[in-house]
Amino acid sequence: QAALPKGYSIRPLSSDDYERGFLDVLSVLTVIGNISKARFLERFFYLKAHNHEYFTLVIVSPENRIVGAGTIFIERKFIRNTGLVGHIEDIAVDKNQQGKKLGLRVIQALKYIGAKTGCYKVILDCSEKNVPFYEKCGFQKKEVEMAWYC
């Protein structure tokens, strides 16, 4: 298990993380758009009301800024005896903070949540470039991702 560097902590997303740069961290993933605090809060409180299904974790730096983030969504199936599957989404580490094992720590915590909530597996989609990272996090390549954009 990797420890966080001194002064860093990991915790669930909080309603005032908007001011701590949560959306800036996500911008390493894709276009974020111009999201107001009100829209952030609307989404935040929706997810909070569904916190048996959505778990978003953040890593906080010693300067009290958000420098890492990740989410696990728990899907409820009929198959596998009404089994649960965890989907890991939107893993992001601030560009200046990459390579400090923050990404690994987020994944370890999300895998723990998946296992504790009773998932029989945890899956994710990623680019070819990120395969070595996820292999180091204990995942293996399986099947093929397909997408249809609406």
Given the rule CB under 6 A, which residues bind ligand ACO? 28-29, 88-93, 98-104, 124-126, 129-130, 132-133, 136
Q: How far is the CB of 63 from ligand ACO (least distance, A)?
A: 17
Pairwise CA distance, residues 73 & 65, whole Å: 24
Residue 95 Cβ vs ligand ACO, minimum distance, rounded to whole Å: 8
Residue number with CB closer to ligand ACO (73 or 133):
133
Shortest Å distance, C-beta 71 to ligand ACO: 8
Residue 58 CB neighbours (<10 A): 23
Taking the least distance from each CB to ligand ACO, the nearer of 41 and 139 is 139
- Give the list of residues 6+ apart from residue 11 with CB closer than 8 angstroms, or none: 57, 58, 60
**Which residue number is nearest to ligand ACO in terms of Cβ?**
103
Instruction: Please say whether the beta carbons of 119 and 84 come within 8 A.
Output: yes
- Distance, CA of 96 to chain centre: 18
Q: Residue 27 or residue 41: which is nearer to ligand ACO going by CB?
A: 27
Cβ-based nearer residue to ligand ACO, 3 or 38: 3
**Residue 38 C-beta: closest distance to ligand ACO, Å:** 26
Residue tagged 């001194």 (tokens):
6
Beta pairing, strands 119-123 & 84-93? parallel
Distance CA 26, CA 139 (A): 22
